[in-house]
Structure 1
Amino acid sequence: MKNLAQLVVALLAFWAVVLMVAPAGAEAATCNPLQLTPCAGAIIGNAAPTAVCCSRMNEQRLCMCQYGRDPNLKQYVDSPNGKKVMAACKVPVPSC
């Protein structure tokens, strides 16, 4: 039960960060970290990435450098789980 509570808190924190840094204007159509919320369980927890997660990850693959430079998102892009999700979804880990 403690692990479930920690996962819920982590997911809420992740979504709060994503909401704070969501781009506005023209960039919102292409780079939108909110599109990666289906990957939260895999990146923050230890869940396997879903088909929806991989689809979104592939759609956002060109944005990974931008996300990696954002201090609020960098920890997720650079995390071991973030890299595992990218690998599982066949998204190249950015070398920015």
Structure 2
Amino acid sequence: MTEYYTMKNEMAARAALMVRAADELLKLTHDLKEFLILHDFNFLSSAIENAEARADKKMDEYVAKYDALRLDTASIITDIDKELNEHFSLRQ
């Protein structure tokens, strides 16, 4: 009797894994078809490439702004530390 239930549970687990694998394969094939359809049209491909180029350019601008702000903040912190050490440090 226990062998029956063991076999039944194993088959149920295997069936669940098969269903999950089949679902993932269906999602993958859908994504591949969508990708191929989108990249099949030249105007869509060029629009996608232009959008990627604009996004890269904007990202580079943001990185440059971030670096400038980071350097400004670091110099301000250094100046504040120097001023605090000059005026409020313990001298012996």
Does the alignment reach a TM-score above 0.5? no
**Which structure has the greater CA radius of gyration?**
2
Greater relative contact order structure (CA < 8 Å, 6+ sep): 1
TM-score, normalised to structure 1, is: 0.27
